[in-house]
Structure 1
Amino acid sequence: MQNLGIAITGSGSAVPATFLDNHALTEVVETSDEWITTRTGIRQRRLAKASETITELATAASEQAIAMAGISPQDLDLIVLATSSPDDLFGSACHIQGQLGATKAVAFDITAACSGFVFGLVTAAQYIRTGVYQNVLLVGADFLSRWVDWQDRGTCVLFGDGAGAVVIQANQKDYLLGFELRSDGTQNNCLNLAYAAEPTQLTQQVNVGKGNFQPITMNGKEVYRFAVQKVPEVIDKALFRANLSVDQIDWLLLHQANQRILDAVAQRLNIPEHKVISNLANYGNTSAASIPLALDEAVRQGKIKTGDIIVTSGFGAGLTWGAAIFQWGR
């Protein structure tokens, strides 16, 4: 009988060694530890050095996930990298494939900002469910410190760098229980890392744009309002598709953007605090890395156990948001 379900069988994570706590951040921008912690819950963030690359960190996280799954890089059929800050604008997934020695795997990047890991999970699952691939590596990695305006206290206090990875394998029983993905481009201007056209006159008749990007801009109030409203809705829809009730959930694992968002979503869904996974105090918002980073930490701490039902939701630029419900392990 063909295995047309999926199981998530391994996880891994990696963060830069350099950290910047709130007190040190006050030397960079006018803010305070109290201002940051009361509004976000973040106490410190890890920042990549100029010499560090997404590929290095993603490869380290991937090696851990592959080892936990008990397979080798040569067993991988597909590598999906969810990132908005690749080392190379043409994509970094192939570089990771080369570093791992995953000679059989096809590799590509997807960009869905802070929703990237959830979108990637659903994408990877479809390749397995259709019988095309057996073993998929999904990586979420971002270095948004590259694109932060360090004088904008509304954004620079939020972001950190990191990578997380999972191995997804074909399985007789399907442990991806339900999902729902959404986009609303009419709110695109709420959160951007936008192209900034610098006109270059090639000839008298031809004017082209020179490539560059502006720092991250965000309407914090609108993004908060969007997340608190839309995330519980999309989780409800995913629960309906999974034919599950809230009280059957073992863990709520949201994109680690802001502790106030985590608390508000849990409250709206009547999920008790002890079921909410949160590590953003130590890492800040690591965008596409935040969910797999928190997942791996909870697995290695022994909190998440085989068979636990996890509701995960990502939300961010696009605007994009989505939820996926899965059982850990097999």
Structure 2
Amino acid sequence: MKNYSKIVGTGSFLPPNRVTNEQLVQRLAADGIESSDEWIFSRSGISARHYTDASMQTSDLAVQAAQRALEMAGLLPDDIDLIIVATSTSDHFGGFPSTACVVQRKLGITNGGAAVDVQAVCSGFIYALSVADSFIRSGANKNALVIGAETFSRILDFKDRGTCVLFGDGAGAVILSGSDEPGILATKLHADGRYADILCVPGNVNGGVLAGSAFLTMDGPAVFKLAVSLLEKVATEALDSAGLEATQLDWLIPHQANIRIMQSTAKKLHMPPEKMVVTVDQHGNTSAASIPLALDVAVRDGRVKPGQHVLMEGVGGGFTWGAVVARM
């Protein structure tokens, strides 16, 4: 039995419809809402985001990212015996069947391996990766497909400029396989339900009728303050568990939510800006997809190399947060 799990492939996908800040500003202006490219970029670091069209579901984004990860790993779909999809925007109302099962079907996997969704919002990929690591290290599974995929454009209120300018759609995936060499070195997960209301979709359905709002709502200042504090703490926890110092990290890959939060975390860890992977400018906050998206970009452009140490971390509604230290 192999005693470790290791990332052996990455993949990502952004839907073709790229919306720049200026295009979004024009859309908001049509409804009498004032904004500007400078206002959006200075507060978030975002220049553009991608939106799905009506024909594309979260599972479709996930499948595209998964296929690219499988190709990099040199594996066939039926080599995968565990699928975990982190998403807050499942294909189906109520979350079932799970998006993971839909992905399994669309990939043509018929080996009867497990498939399940994980819901921890923007921390979802970190949660999913941690779960997959535990299954593989236990010997229960050999090859796990871990995906973060979101279609957040469908839960945005485009009359609320404080939220609608921040989010986009996309997917990122990794293949996690059993290994004789350490890959995932440490994982740390946390949650605190006392902060559930500061980032949520508050509506619910009873008898087929929506009660409350189906749109994302966020207390921006509260989320910012909490995120900055928690990301530093969980990063330190994960590094301690891995037996590493921050100076031994090659790359910081944080949840791509807000450039100011990301820069603050890097500064507190005494990591130079050039060691932080930043893709938020090109796709906005893609929630559970953002970390694997950024990882895939950095792997494919040659920044992240085999043997290097990477810290991935995120915070999300719930309130949830977590970090993973990995040797690539």
TM-score (norm: length of structure 2):
0.95
User: Any idea what SS the aligned residue of 1:261 has?
Assistant: helix
> How far apart, in 1, do the equivalents of 2:268 and 2:248 lie?
16
Kindly, what percent of the aligned residue pairs are identical? 42
Asked whether 1:121 is paired with 2:129, we answer: yes
Q: Secondary structure at the match of 2:263?
A: helix
Partner of 2:4: 5
Q: Which residue in 1 is equivalent to 2:156?
A: 148
Among residues 97, 110, 126, which one is paired with 2:104 in the alignment? 97
Cα gap change, 1:209 to 1:48, in 2 (>3 Å): closer
Distance 1:248 1:82 in 2: 29
Aligned to 1:245: 245
- Which residue identity lines up with residue 83 of structure 1 in the other structure? T
Could you tell me which residue of structure 1 aligns to residue 31 of structure 2?
A: none
Aligned counterpart for 2:50 among listed residues 46, 49, 69: 46
2:310 matched residue in structure 1: 310
CA distance in 1, matches of 2:327, 2:210: 43
Note the C-alpha offset of 1:194.
2.2
Does the aligned pair in 2 maintain the 1:83–1:141 contact within 8 Å? yes
Cα distance, 1:209 vs structure 2: 6.3
* Matched positions, count: 318
Give the 3-state SS of the residue equivalent to 1:68 in structure 2: helix
2: CA distance, partners of 1:209 / 1:75? 40
Q: Which residue of 2 aligns with 1:202?
A: none
- Alpha-carbon shift at residue 197 of structure 1 (Å): 4.5
Pick from 70, 74, 83: which aligns with 2:74? 70
Cα deviation, 1:244-301, whole Å, max 9, x if unaligned, reads: 0010000000000000001111111101011000001010000000000111011110
Contact 1:28 1:151 in 2 (8 A): no
C-alpha deviation, 1:56, in angstroms:
1.3
Distance 1:71 1:196 in 2: 41
Match of 2:26?
A: 27
Deviations 1:163-194 (A, max 9, x none): 01000000112211112111010010000012
**How much has 1:235 moved relative to structure 2?**
0.3
1:299 is matched with: 299
Deviation at 1:54, TM superposition (A): 1.1
Tell me if structure 2 keeps the 8 A contact 1:81–1:108: yes
The one-letter code matched in structure 1 to 2:72 is M
AA aligned opposite 1:290:
S
2:272 matched residue in structure 1: 272
Q: Give the stretch that moved more between structures: 14-23 or 171-180.
A: 171-180
1: CA distance, partners of 2:293 / 2:201: 23
Asked if 2 retains the 8 angstrom alpha-carbon contact of 1:118 and 1:322, the reply is: yes
Aligned partner of 1:161 among 156, 160, 169? 169
**Alignment match, 2:319:** 319
| Cα deviation code 1:117-153 (max 9, x no counterpart) | 0000000011111110000000100000000000100
Match of 1:203 in 2: none
2:41 to 37, 41, 48: 37
Structure 1: how far apart are the matches of 2:199 and 2:166? 13
SS where residue 119 of structure 1 aligns?
helix
Matched residues in 1 for 2:135 and 2:142: separation? 8
* Partner SS for 2:305: coil
Report deviation, 1:92.
1.1
Pairs within 5 Å for 1:130-149: 130-149=138-157
Which letter does structure 2 place at the counterpart of 1:6?
Answer: S
TM normalised by structure 1 equals 0.94
Return the alpha-carbon distance in structure 2 between the equivalents of residues 193 and 72 of structure 1: 37
Structural mapping, 1:206-221, within 5 Å: 208=207, 210-211=209-210, 214-221=214-221
Structure 1, 222-231 or 49-58: larger mean CA deviation: 49-58
- Code of the residue aligned with 1:17 in structure 2: it is P
